Structure 1
Amino acid sequence: MILPQKAFSDTILYLDMDSLLKNLEVFQRLVAKNVKIMAMIKANAYGTGAVIIAKALEKKNIDYFGVAYADEGNELRINGIKTPIMVMNPGEKNIDLMISQNLEPEIFSEDSLHRYMEFIQQKNISDGKIHIKVDTGMNRLGFKIKDLPMVIESLKNNPSVKVLSIMSHFASADISKEDAFTRKQNTDFNFFCEKIESELGYKCTRHISNTSATERHTAFNADMVRIGIGLYGHTPINNTELSLSPVAHLHSKVSHIHLIREGEGVSYGRDYIAKEDRKIATIPIGYADGFPRILSNGVGKMFINGKLYPVVGKVCMDMTMLDITDSAIKVGDPVEIFGSNIKIIDFAKNCKTTCYEVLTRLSSRIDRIPIYNQE
């Protein structure tokens, strides 16, 4: 990857946009032609930069965007995104904003349903648009099967509210031993959908599949699938057959180099004491940026000029030190934290977490720089 030089900080998350679009094509080929794709760009597009990602996907005519909260959808609208946006947890105080910005709320409880309908009536809105969430076993948000009579009655009494889609969420679609439970979830979901549609007299878009289900349970893809981590080049089941390419590459530069003598310590608590003279490099990334303290004292490594170098001492809030003894590394040399040489999945394992968490905890002070046309 050829990296541009202009940026506002030395620590940068480079976004391989060609990989993003190729990953989208992988999932477009995986599903039937009539199946839509909702790109999940909640949590700042899994840490990569929601506006950057949304603009690129909108140019490819993505069908839908999914976000967690109203302010995330509002940010996209302010930045010119026109694609339909579903908001998973809109919040009781954000209905006015949702309506004004043409954001579509996910309705998941009796309270949220009635609150939305009251607002629609008060504002004399004739075309309210909602998505109904069904809880089939995730036990996070959603109506239960027992809520069907109430939901149906409320919708029939408020014809100005149109159900655009009915959705649920698989709890363990990536785990083979849970396949029986996944099948039951899908059965319960379709039962709920059929009851709603028969009572309302119109079809609703159905969607329950996440990235894992889209890969492993293609028969459950319904009318639309929701792809999140897969767009960014990763899958919970680490399916190499899909040929996904990582989008995010985290890089920095060497800020400072100095020598320490035998017996001197590095960083807080002096956990690391040099047993002989060593050469130390300071890198401008720390736990405030998403490089966690668990990588202290040799657990973490960084890639510089063709070689891995270990972290020494504790990771600080803003900086991390490496042992670069016997190297010719200079101040300003590029540093890879994860990317082509340190795979993000290996970085995540060292952090004892997942790629999801690694990406989403990258702080806002890391610049996100899109890269195009690398071939």
Structure 2
Amino acid sequence: MIAGLQKTLKAQNATKFIFLVCGLGISSWAPMVPYAKERLGLNDANLGLLLLLLGGGAIAMMPISGILSHRYGSRVVILGAALLMALVLPLLMLTNTPVQMGIALFIFGAAVGAVDVAMNTQGVQVENLAEKPIMSSLHGLFSVGGLLGSLGLGFLMRLGLAPETAAITIAILLIIIVSLNYKFLLDNPTEKAAIQRFSAVDATQKKVSWFTGSILFLGLMCFAVFLSEGAMLDWSALFLKESRGITEEFSGIGYAAFSIAMAFMRLTGDKLVSKFDGKTVVVTGSLVAGLGILLAVATPWIGTTILGFVLLGLGAANIVPVFISEGGKLKGIPATVAIPVITTIGYAGQLAGPAILGFIAYSFSLPIAFGFTAILLFIVSISYGLRKSK
């Protein structure tokens, strides 16, 4: 009994580091973008197409990652995909042609997508075995990794390292972290036993349904939430510049406030889920997030706009972790089937969402486009509140 608890605790800590690695790896690309654009002589349109390949690689690999995790265990997929992500990361600073960059970005995105699915699959089984909520803190470590990665490359270059050397340094760090924690992750037999116990399914069965009502519902709810996050990433700076008159160099303050609020709430979210329940967190959180967006777009003051973005981060922070946790407990459906579908649909919202909002903004206005995301969050609140617990 004690040995089992110690094994679960070690797996929990190891999984936290994997979430940190994923956030650190993907966010390290962000400061590379200006260098890539200048080095390859890209215009905004060409750069946009290359960035689309990054998301396309992730979405293409997510279902495959689920299949591999179902067969070989998520631990093996995490190791292989994380090492691939680390090895490709420096290549993003070394490619000499747009074609080479496109290939590298697609592979990098595929590796990130595979890690994302596998680490969430591992996380829900560790959470089930621990018999307490941990998913919010896991995603909190991903957010922390995102903040560190977005600053880390620039910090290393300020120390005097060349951009390529800085990227290699981060890649080595990722490899070290993954290598040190791999052995503590749940192995395939333990994971299959957990799936069988908590999902009431034979984990060795080969024929499973990928698209059931419960999976699609959670996936669509994730789509709406990820769309709102994508709106902040791609449109908040432009909104502050054009609608609130903030200068370009400070236009990123809205996303920074949103990110810090989200990271803080995720790191404390497990206590909220334990004190209340997942449904309360989702219903209340999506309501707060939607109201935050409305506050940001309906008031003309910079202070209330930033406050609205903070409320969005606080409210939305723990919604997706609750959805992932529920996906790992659906009766008769292995987590290795449910989670890839949920995350793929959700990630599609983050990828396609900015384009949808761009069309709305072009046809009407950017504030109306943001208002559309608020409506989606209210739909999440109502739909999940009315849904019967599974």
Q: TM-score, normalised by structure 1?
A: 0.21
Which structure dedicates a bigger proportion of its chain to helix?
A: 2
Which structure dedicates a bigger proportion of its chain to strand?
A: 1
Higher relative contact order (CA 8 A, sep 6+): 2
Q: TM-score, normalised by structure 2?
A: 0.21
